[in-house]
Copies of this chain bind each other. A is one copy, B any other.
Amino acid sequence: MRTNNGVLAVVSGPSGAGKGTVVSALINSCGSCFLSVSATTRPPREGEIPGKHYNFVSRDEFEDMIKKGELLEYAEYAGNYYGTPRRDIDLLLSEGKDVILEIDMQGGTMVREKRADAVLIFLTPPLIGDIEKRLRGRNTESEDSIKKRLETARRELSGAGSYDYIVINDSVDMAVEDIRCILRAERCSASRNPLAL
Contacts and interface: CB of A to CB of B under 8 A. Distances in A.
Interface string A150-179: 100110010011011111100000100110
Interface residues of A, number: 35
A181 interface: yes
A185 B154 CA distance: 23
A132 B190 contact: no
Interface string A111-154: 00000000001100000010110000000000000000010011
A189 to B, nearest CB: 6
A2 interface: yes
A59 interface: no
Per DSSP, chain A at the interface is helix
A1 B131 contact: no
Of all A-B residue pairs in the complex, the 6 with the closest CB atoms, nearest first, are A185-B185, A181-B181, A181-B184, A182-B185, A165-B188, A166-B193
Given A166-B195, A181-B188, 5 more contacts: A132-B197, A157-B197, A177-B184, A178-B188, A181-B182
6 contacts: A1-B178, A122-B195, A166-B188, A178-B188, A181-B182, A184-B185
